[in-house]
Amino acid sequence: MNLESLLRLHRVIRVIGFDDAPFQRRRGSRVSIAGVVCAGTRFEGMVWGHARQDGWNATGTLCKLLIGGKFLPQLHIVLLDGIAFGGFNVVDLPKLADTLSLPCVAVMRRQPNLPAVEQAIRRLPQPERRLRILQRAGEIHAFPPFFFQVCGETPEVTAAVLQRLTDCGKVPEALRLAHLIGAATVNGESGSSA
């Protein structure tokens, strides 16, 4: 059943939200990634993986965490906290959506400062390749309080789904929990900003 039908029929939407855990800023270091599965806003399970800081394996890591696992057949949508993990290990959003056959959404807390992002990327190896992957994610849609890029669904349906998946505040619950769990695993306790 597609997202629009799930919304219209008031059915539970199953989601996974991915966020990276806090990490040491050393190029090439290992960055933990928490993936939290929710039915609506209720926690149902999680996956845990790793990517390289400023590396190239974020898309592959997310696919490996889901393909062949028990959660993928249950999911309706995939949420990412931003378009990159561990600095600028940029997720290829169209490739992720195509590989998983699910709508994939990079959610941002605010409209990003794109010139500053480009400037930071230009300090890394293969900046043009990183920028191409970033551009493939498409337009940043503003449906306050949500800002996002989406592949595999319309912006309007995506905004309604994000609203449904958010308990309180501006962050869908699956992303909020992934953030808290990642911080607790690395630091011994969760932080205050989720």
Q: Is residue 68 part of a domain?
A: yes
Kind plus residue range of the DSSP H or E element containing 94: helix 93-100
Q: Is residue 194 part of a domain?
A: no
CA-based end-to-end distance of the chain:
30
Q: What is the pLDDT of residues 22-42, one digit of tens each?
A: 888 877 789 999 999 999 999
Domain span at residue 110 reads: 3-183
Q: What is the pLDDT of residues 41-82, one digit of tens each?
A: 999 999 999 999 999 999 999 999 999 999 999 999 999 999
Per the DSSP assignment, residues forming a β-bridge with 37 are 16, 45
Q: Is residue 118 part of a domain?
A: yes
Under 8 Å between Cβ of 15 and 178: no
Counting runs of H as helices and runs of E as strands, what totals does the chain give? 7, 9
Q: What is the CATH number of the domain that holds 74?
A: 3.30.2170.10
- Percent of the chain's residues with pLDDT above 90: 87
List of E strands, 40-192:
42-52, 77-81, 84-85, 89-90, 104-108, 141-143, 146-151
List of E strands, 87-132:
89-90, 104-108
Q: Is residue 189 part of a domain?
A: no
> Does a cis peptide bond (omega within 30 degrees of 0) precede residue 22?
no
Confidence of residue 192 (pLDDT cuts 50, 70, 90): low
Alpha-carbon gap, residue 56 to 6, rounded angstroms: 34
Q: Is residue 191 part of a domain?
A: no
Q: Is residue 102 part of a domain?
A: yes
- pTM (predicted TM-score): 0.95
How far, CA to CA in Å, does 156 sit from each of 12, 28, 109? 18, 37, 18
Confidence of residue 169 (pLDDT cuts 50, 70, 90): confident
Q: Which among 152, 140, 167, 49 is positioned nearest to 96, based on CA atoms? A: 152
Q: Is residue 166 part of a domain?
A: yes
Q: Is residue 20 part of a domain?
A: yes
How far, CA to CA in Å, does 62 sit from each of 35, 95, 137, 177, 183? 9, 11, 16, 17, 19
Quick one: angle between helices 58-66 and 93-100, nearest 10?
A: 20
Q: Which among 45, 104, 107, 105 is positioned nearest to 74, based on CA atoms? A: 45
Q: Which among 177, 178, 165, 183 is positioned nearest to 75, based on CA atoms? A: 165
**CA 82 to centroid of chain Cα atoms:** 6
Number of domains the chain is built from? 1
